[in-house]
Amino acid sequence: MATTPGTRTGVTAAAADPLPEGAPRHIAIIMDGNGRWAQCRGLPRIEGHRRGVASVRRITEHAARRGVEQLTLYCLSRENWRRPALETTFLMHLLEQYMVEERALLSRERIQVSMIGRRDGLPAATLAALDRTVASCAGNTGMRLCLAINYGGRDEIVDAARALAQAARDGTLDPADIDEEVFAGRLSTGGMPDPDLLIRTAGEQRVSNFLLWQISYAELWITDALWPDFDAGHLDAAIAAFAGRVRRFGGLAPS
């Protein structure tokens, strides 16, 4: 697993180039480092989250204009509820605000929006804003933006196993018919392509319970850049690195 600092190319969303041959269809990002970004500047952690939203905006726009098919962002894990209540409350407020303020951008770039993760425990106002944005973008035909909110990879796998077990118990599913495709169809990402590229910011080298089933063969790209500093140049560097790799999926490289 190589650690790449990311390079700043100065590319803006308006000047985005088409994706190169062999580029990833689906990019997933573990957005890490908001709190550290703020603390190293003597600011409260919530200011880092506020700046992190700006990164979400520019990366979503840049990815859409480059032609990425799907972008999945790890917004809030199930484990994040262990943080102070003030911080999690502010995160919910930011999410609600983002859902309202970004509708114009999402519509302009023809971006579809979906959510994965458990709805229970999320504030009603946040869910209402999210649902309204999802509905308003339902007819869009561009990039799919998937937001992982209150999400845990193990929870997702357990939920899928429970649903399959219930179907078998009800007699609507023969256990002998359960294969990888059937199991994947019961996940919250059913119908979506698996991520080709997993990006993690802030230099951490772990997957943090994110898309555990789906990233089985994803390429990893790690940058020391904290999420508020992550820009179009970093995303372009990750895409270029991916395009230069040979994906063998357990087999041998082409001759």
Confirm whether 230 is domain-assigned: yes
List the catalytic residue out of 32, 196, 229, 236. 32
Confirm whether 49 is domain-assigned: yes
Confirm whether 179 is domain-assigned: no
Structure tokens at 32: 């890490």
**Beta-ladder partners of 27:** 71, 197
Judge whether 32 counts as a catalytic residue: yes
Taking alpha carbons only, the member of 32, 34, 71, 70 closest to residue 50 is: 34
180-205 residue pLDDT tens:
999 999 999 999 999 999 999 999 99
Query: What is the phi-psi region of residue 21: left when phi exceeds 0, alpha when psi lies from -120 to 50, beta otherwise?
Result: beta
Confirm whether 145 is domain-assigned: yes
Cα(158)–Cα(245) distance, integer angstroms = 33
Cα(117)–Cα(222) distance, integer angstroms = 24
Structure tokens at 184: 């994947």
Cα(55)–Cα(50) distance, integer angstroms = 9
99-142 residue pLDDT tens:
999 999 999 999 999 999 999 999 999 999 999 999 999 999 99
Q: Can you give the residue range of the structural domain that contains 89? A: 22-152+194-243
Q: Tell me, what CATH number does 219's domain have?
A: 3.40.1180.10
Look up tokens 């911080």; give the residue: 87
Confirm whether 108 is domain-assigned: yes
140-163 residue pLDDT tens:
999 999 999 999 999 999 999 999
Taking alpha carbons only, the member of 78, 87, 146, 164 closest to residue 118 is: 78
Indicate the pTM of the whole model. Answer: 0.90
Judge whether 80 counts as a catalytic residue: yes
Confirm whether 84 is domain-assigned: yes
71-109 residue pLDDT tens:
999 999 999 998 999 999 999 999 999 999 999 999 999
Angle, alpha carbons 78-82-87 (nearest 5°): 100
List the catalytic residue out of 17, 34, 80, 159. 80
The total number of structural domains in the chain stands at 1
